[in-house]
Structure 1
Amino acid sequence: MTDKAPRVAMVAGEASGDLLAGLLLDGMQARWPAATAHGIGGPQMARRGFAAWWPSDKLAVHGYSVEVFRRLRELLSIRKQLRNRLLADRPDIFIGVDAPDFNLGLEADLRAAGIRTVHFVCPSIWAWRADRVEKIRKSAGHVLCIFPFEPELLARHGIAATYVGHPLASVIPEVPDRSGARAHLGLADGDEVLAILPGSRSAEVQYIAPAFFQAAALLRQARPNLRMVVPAVPALQARIEQVAREQGVSGMLQIVTGQSHTVLAACDATLIASGTATLEAALFKRPMVIGYHMHPLSWWLMKRKQLQPWVGLPNILCGEFVVPELIQGAATPQALCDATLQWLDAKVQHPATITALEQRFSALHASLRRDTSQLAADAIEKILATAAV
Structure 2
Amino acid sequence: MANEANGVQIYCTDCGTVMQGWKETICRCGGTWDVRRPIASMDGERLRRLFDERLGQRSGVYASGVWRYRELIAPELPEEALVYRGEGNTGLYDSTAAAQYAGVRRIWLKAQSENPSGSFKDNGMVAAVSHGRSLGNKWFACSSTGNTSASLAMYAAWCGLQSLVLAPAKGISPAKISQTSAYGARILAFDGTYDDGIRFLRQSAEKLGLYVCNSLNPYRIEGQKSIVYELAQQLDWSLPDWIAIPGGALSHVSALGKGLEELFALGLIGRLPRIALIQAEGASPFHRMVQSGAASLTPEPKPNTRASALNIGNPPSWRKALKALQMTNGVTAAVSDEQIMAAKRIIDRSGIGCEPASAATLAGVLKLRTEGIIDGDETAACILTGNLLKDIDALHELYENAGDASGGTLNVERVAELCSVQASP
| Superposed pair shares fold, TM > 0.5 | no
TM-score between the two structures when normalised by the length of structure 2: 0.29
TM-score between the two structures when normalised by the length of structure 1: 0.31
1 or 2, which has the higher helix percentage?
1
